Amino acid sequence: MTTLRLTAAQAMVRYLENQLNADGERFLEGIWAIFGHGNVAGLGEALYHAKDRFPTYRGHNEQTMAHAAIAYAKQSKRKRAMAVTSSVGPGATNMVTAAALAHVNRLPVLLIPGDVFANRGPDPVLQQIEEFGDGTLSANDCFKPVSRYFDRITRPEQLLTALPRAFRTMTDPADCGPVTLAFCQDVQAEAYDYPIEFFEPKSWIIRRPAPDAQELKAAIATILAAKNPVIVAGGGVHYSEACEDLKKFAHRFNIPVVETQAGKSALAWDDDMAFGPVGVTGSASANQICEEADLVIGIGTRFQDFTTGSWALFSKLQKLLAINVQPYDSHKHQAQSLICDAKIAFAALSDALGAYKANERSQQIRSDWYDAVDAITKAPKSSSNDAPTDMQVIGAVQRAADETSVVMCAAGTMPGELHKLWKAYNPGAYHMEYGFSCMGYEIAGAMGIKMAQPERDVICFTGDGTYMMANSELASAVMMGIDFTIVVTDNRGYGCINRLQMGCGGAEFNNLLDHTLHKYPSAINFAQHAASMGAKSVHVSSITDLEAELATRKQGGVKVIVIDTDPYPSTEAGGYWWDVAVPEVSEREEVQQARLAYMKALAARN
């Protein structure tokens, strides 16, 4: 057997750069790295020698570097991904939130945090967490509950089993998610004679599981018995590259389609079978269709509470058919299960349903909904001195968008409003991280999207609160020459949670900056801050000025447009109940009334 003597770090890098997807592309596009004493001497040296073959990108925060990597994988439909490495200690734990985000959203990312010395010679090493009752624990054990696969590399030869397992996980449609390989820092520098075959290029095929014959037969019978079925399209439709299949299936069998946050843009907004977004942040048209349905067919969705209205939307439903590659998702709420890839499922069901047609559904409820959307998002009268609403900002961006545009967001007011109001032209035109709804994903995520699809016009919506939480990758994007647009809506605080607080009967407290214990009023200049990092930035005072600035967004560079907005209004049309527990005991009459309404809603659901 021919061998090659390499350090463990060198072996890891050589292996990573030779793993391909089914299209012959390198599965890991590159690696994001912030070096420290846990990875600079070992992995850093190895990456240096591979820099012309396997790119290393430097970010400013470990969490947001990972967010960029995750957004890259999501926009690539999980066919490509990225790795992220950090030092031991705080560099590693900074990535735990990102790991949780990837875990919830079923997205691949390879996390390589540095770890303590396997030989324990210098214990306790700088930044080491010491567990008094367990000498095997380190800070990296925090990754275990938020990783699909976790391993700690304590000997160089362990890479021979750990790395294939890592790629198996990241390319498995059912188990897909974050992989953490905690890499002991002394082991990174240790050498081993690796079999040369280990480094030969390998293609990883993302499997398309076919349905079990009995499950398929039962699913066909269930659909044939339904008069008013509806399809709930989730992110799995995108990852299966089955959007066109969904369109053909829906039209052939006359089954309306509603979309989750992850599934939105599977159908173009103006398709006759596209009845809009579903659930808490859904449209009146989609939720009416679901209320009237005698069968809900979930395809590639994990049925998050925002999708189901905390299951109140489907409380009277008799039949739920869940088509998913992951059995865990396909059996939720006593659903009838069809464990299968979405594209394969559409083909198998189409072959068997024959001349089946569902009942006609009213197109009027679609047109009524979009009339409401247009009214909400239209520009305010020029004579108005009121601060614009978030909905009017969305309208301005919508009018400026084209078929190359991708809008993205993650947390705060905009996810709900965009899900309701944005008109997506084509698959991939809407990118929302709403599984974990993680503040701080937005700017880094926009960078990752643009890296995945440079031809796209990427527009990032972010509020002032999330901008303050994680803005540093804006500087990375500027320095890397990655162009996109950021629209910062400044409502002076956490407007979304402030409205939720008020909706539960609470007093305005600790959300908007004006209702927080501060000695001095806020005077943050977001435009100047963005400019200091190299962005082309401007503060606009009206929707008219916003539209004018949006018209210049494709002139190169990161463009940041800041606009003040009203924190109080939200879209009253559409939507559905969401289970947010209201205190049973309170001195506030408003809370007492909210509690009564809450108990009434619970009774209606149950």
The whole-angstrom separation of Cα 284 and Cα 332 is 25
Domain endpoint, select from 180, 204, 228: 204
| Residue 571 belongs to some domain of the structure | no
Q: Helix or strand or coil: residue 289?
A: helix
Are residues 482 and 598 both part of a single domain? no
Are residues 551 and 586 both part of a single domain? no
Give 381's pLDDT tier (boundaries 50, 70, 90). confident
| pLDDT, tens digit (0-9, with 9 covering 90-100), for 79-93 | 999 999 999 999 999
Interval 64-75 mean pLDDT: 98
Q: What is the CATH number of the domain that holds 388?
A: 3.40.50.970
Are residues 33 and 147 both part of a single domain? yes
| Residue 369 belongs to some domain of the structure | no
| Cα-Cα end-to-end distance for the chain | 66
- H/E run at residue 299: strand 295-299
Domain endpoint, select from 334, 363, 392: 363
| pLDDT, tens digit (0-9, with 9 covering 90-100), for 231-285 | 999 999 999 999 999 999 999 999 999 999 999 999 999 999 999 999 999 999 9
Q: Between vectors from CA 161 to CA 158 and to CA 165, what angle results, nearest 5°?
A: 130
Q: Which residue has the tokens 């890479």?
A: 159
C-beta separation of 231 from 349 below 8 A: no
Give 166's pLDDT tier (boundaries 50, 70, 90). very high
Are residues 226 and 325 both part of a single domain? yes
Q: How far is CA 523 from the centre of its chain?
A: 32
Q: Helix or strand or coil: residue 74?
A: helix
Are residues 22 and 148 both part of a single domain? yes
Give 316's pLDDT tier (boundaries 50, 70, 90). confident
Are residues 226 and 119 both part of a single domain? no
Are residues 532 and 588 both part of a single domain? no
Interval 398-408 mean pLDDT: 98
Q: What is the DSSP letter of 400?
A: H
| Domains identified in the chain, total number | 4
Please give the pLDDT value at position 317. 79
Are residues 422 and 503 both part of a single domain? yes
Q: Between vectors from CA 369 to CA 368 and to CA 374, what angle results, nearest 5°?
A: 100
* Cross-strand bridge partners of residue 398: none
Please give the pLDDT value at position 318. 76
- Among 299, 292, 330, 332, residue whose Cα is nearest residue 314: 292
With a cut of 90, say whether residue 382 has pLDDT above it: no
| pLDDT, tens digit (0-9, with 9 covering 90-100), for 179-200 | 999 999 999 999 999 999 999 9
Are residues 78 and 197 both part of a single domain? yes
Mean of pLDDT over the chain: 96
Please give the pLDDT value at position 384. 72
| Residue 23 belongs to some domain of the structure | yes
With a cut of 80, say whether residue 443 has pLDDT above it: yes
Q: Which residue has the tokens 């990972």?
A: 66
Question: Percent of the chain scored above 90 by pLDDT?
Answer: 96
Please give the pLDDT value at position 385. 75
Question: Percent of the chain scored above 70 by pLDDT?
Answer: 100
Please give the pLDDT value at position 164. 98
State how far the alpha carbon of 462 is from the alpha carbons of 74, 103, 265, 421, 446, in Å: 19, 23, 20, 16, 10
Please give the pLDDT value at position 331. 95
With a cut of 90, say whether residue 315 has pLDDT above it: no
Q: What is the CATH number of the domain that holds 329?
A: 3.40.50.1220
The whole-angstrom separation of Cα 379 and Cα 347 is 44
State how far the alpha carbon of 165 is from the alpha carbons of 1, 146, 152, 158, in Å: 23, 17, 13, 11
Phi/psi region, residue 384 (left: phi>0; alpha: psi -120 to 50; beta: rest), is beta
- Among 9, 36, 37, 38, residue whose Cα is nearest residue 115: 38
Q: Residue 483 is encoded by which pair of tokens?
A: 């162009």
Interval 46-55 mean pLDDT: 97
| Residue 458 belongs to some domain of the structure | yes
Are residues 477 and 395 both part of a single domain? yes
Please give the pLDDT value at position 97. 98
pTM exceeds cut of 0.95: yes
Please give the pLDDT value at position 414. 96
Please give the pLDDT value at position 516. 87
State how far the alpha carbon of 48 is from the alpha carbons of 13, 31, 163, 477, in Å: 10, 12, 20, 21
Range of the domain at 326: 213-363
| Residue 270 belongs to some domain of the structure | yes
C-beta separation of 125 from 87 below 8 A: no
Are residues 164 and 292 both part of a single domain? no
Are residues 515 and 591 both part of a single domain? no
Give 386's pLDDT tier (boundaries 50, 70, 90). confident
Interval 459-474 mean pLDDT: 97
Is the alpha carbon torsion for 555, 556, 562, 565 positive or negative? positive
At a CB cut-off of 8 Å and minimum separation 6, what does 505 contact? 582, 586, 588, 590, 591, 592, 593, 594, 595
